[in-house]
Chain A
């Protein structure tokens, strides 16, 4: 399924938004005008508190208007999608509560069911609409260069790897770039000596796994040795690799972007990102891409690759790998444990990715001079 403006899913979501726009906006005007006969026909009691009844109708009418605005231009009205989700969700929750305590006529229950269904529909619409640029990158598209300066055919790969999985991935991207005539420099991110022991694998520091996990959840930064990458470097491509730590990018890679001294090195440059993980790659990839963009870089390609194996064996194999410090141990579990390194197929894909990056189209038209970096 495509995610462009013409996608089938988008058409369906828009139709559903239009339906609830008409039902909410039109239906509530109708109910306000004809509530006496309608409630009599369905056997519902007439409202005791007319103000509250009118208020609810007005609230629901407003939700209909919001749905109409969303129908007209979904991409530019994402905050309204969130507002409608909250509005309909709250209405559905209150309806459910009063149904539970037994104070609700079936006629009003219908609206509660309608809104609960639409809460889910708008949630799905939101998921469909958010970050379409990532979907395009994940389809395998390699974008044209954003840098109008002549190619130097030099690339820099920045990465951090504890277990070696990321390092293997980087080697294959390098192979792809080199095959197409690029000179590639690797820069392994090094953690400052004070914290180095914590980030060594197999784990050496006490409770290292849990400490890294808690730091990843709370996103506690890690200090790294300076990259000392000048803004006027002559690489025409930077590739950044990051592992997934829990559900985010790895702290040492994020530290590259957190250090203001490194940001100018990405400004106006072509950047490609690689995420290597057990299974969760979407948020780490988004974090990495957005950091690059925040530094003024142009993301020309992205790949996210997961270790082979089926869940739930894959996640438990990862925990065993962390505990044992090596793959395939303990021996008696070997048949159940899944590999902790990318498959040959994934590595081949990364090599193709490297070739694709080397052959990326040139900038279509002259661009403005490289962006100046302000506060990020």
Chain B
């Protein structure tokens, strides 16, 4: 039990705190937060498209594809907009602009896969708009509040 306490007390949590700090989109250091989010969005879309034709009997793979169709990305961006507004009030509209740019990155990534594979569906703009409804409705509300 003592070892367990030592283990838990000594756990490294700083990287997670740093990442959360990055996602505050602080005025002086926007670029790292934006880059991180862009990387996550790109990876999500590429994973979704990669999993499209494989592991067809796996429930976990299927659930992953479903979540990556729009839910995970849109909820992440909604969370970031809330998180950033809480820590840096008054920047809601700038952050919404960044969210728009990230949706463009998302769309561009999906469409790019059509260049290397003709039967790729590319980005699903339809479901992206469902995601946008989640992200931007939350973002706009918080932009007004803060």
Residues of A in contact with B (beta carbons under 8 Å apart): 1, 3, 9, 13, 89, 93, 96-97, 99-101, 116, 119-120, 123-124, 126-128, 130-131, 134-135, 138-139, 216-219, 246-248, 278-283, 286-287, 290-291, 294, 311-312, 314-316
Contacts of B117 in A (CB 8 A): 1, 3, 9, 127-128, 135
- Chain A minimum-CB-distance residue to B112: A124
Q: Which residues of B contact A (CB under 8 A)?
A: 15, 18-19, 22, 32, 35-36, 39, 42-43, 46-47, 49-54, 56-57, 59, 62-63, 65-66, 69, 112-113, 115-121, 124-130
Chain A residue contacts of B130, Cβ below 8 A:
315
- Given contacts A130-B50, A283-B65, is CB(A96)–CB(B35) below 8 Å? yes
Considering residues A97, A123, A218, A279, which has the most beta carbons from chain B within 10 angstroms of its beta carbon?
A: A123
Partner of A9, one of B116, B119, B129: B116
Q: Smallest CB–CB gap between A283 and chain B, Å?
A: 5
- Say whether chain B's binding surface is mostly helix, strand, loop, or mixed: helix
Verify A127–B56 contact, CB threshold 8 A: no
Check if B129 sits within 8 Å of A312, measured CB to CB.
Answer: yes
Q: Are A101 and B59 in contact (CB under 8 A)?
A: no
Which residue of the partner chain A has the closest CB to B45? Answer: A123
Contacts of A248 in B (CB 8 A): 62
C-alpha gap A3/B117 in the complex (Å): 7
CB-based contact B63/A217 at 8 Å: yes
Residues on the A chain within 8 Å of B62, using CB: 217, 219, 247-248, 283
**Cβ of B113 to closest chain A Cβ, rounded Å:** 5
A282 x B120 contact (CB < 8 A): yes
Known contacts: A279-B121, A279-B126, A280-B121. The answer to whether A286 contacts B50 by CB under 8 A is no
Q: Are B116 and A127 neighbours in the complex by a CB distance under 8 Å?
A: yes
CB-nearest residue of chain B relative to A10? B116
Bound complex: CA of A131 vs CA of B49, how far in Å? 12
How many angstroms from the CA of A116 to the CA of B22 in the assembled complex?
A: 19
- Shortest C-beta distance, B31 to chain A (Å), equals 10
Point out the residues of chain A lying under 8 angstroms from B129, CB to CB.
311-312, 315-316
Q: Indicate which residue in A96, A123, A283 contacts B56 across the interface (CB closer than 8 Å).
A: A283
Instruction: List B contacts of A119 (CB < 8 A).
Output: 43
Complex-state Cα separation, A224 to B43, whole angstroms: 38
Shortest distance between the CB of B37 and any CB in chain A (Å): 12
- Cβ A124 vs Cβ B53 within 8 A: no
* Contact status B56-A287, CB under 8 Å: yes
- Contacts A130-B50, A219-B59 aside, 13 further interface pairs with beta carbons under 8 A come to A13-B116, A97-B19, A127-B49, A127-B50, A217-B66, A247-B69, A282-B52, A282-B53, A283-B65, A286-B52, A286-B56, A291-B56, A315-B130
Q: Are A282 and B119 in contact (CB under 8 A)?
A: yes
CB distance from B117 to the nearest CB of A (A): 5
Q: Report Cα–Cα, A283/B125, bound state, in Å.
A: 17
Closest Cβ neighbor of B66 among chain A residues: A217
Interchain CB contact under 8 A, A97 and B18: yes
Inter-subunit contact B126/A283 (CB<8 Å): no
Docked complex Cα distance between A138 and B121 (Å):
12
Asked if residues B18 and A315 are in contact (CB atoms below 8 Å), the reply is no
Q: When the two chains form their complex, are residues B121 and A282 in contact, meaning their CB atoms are under 8 A apart? A: yes
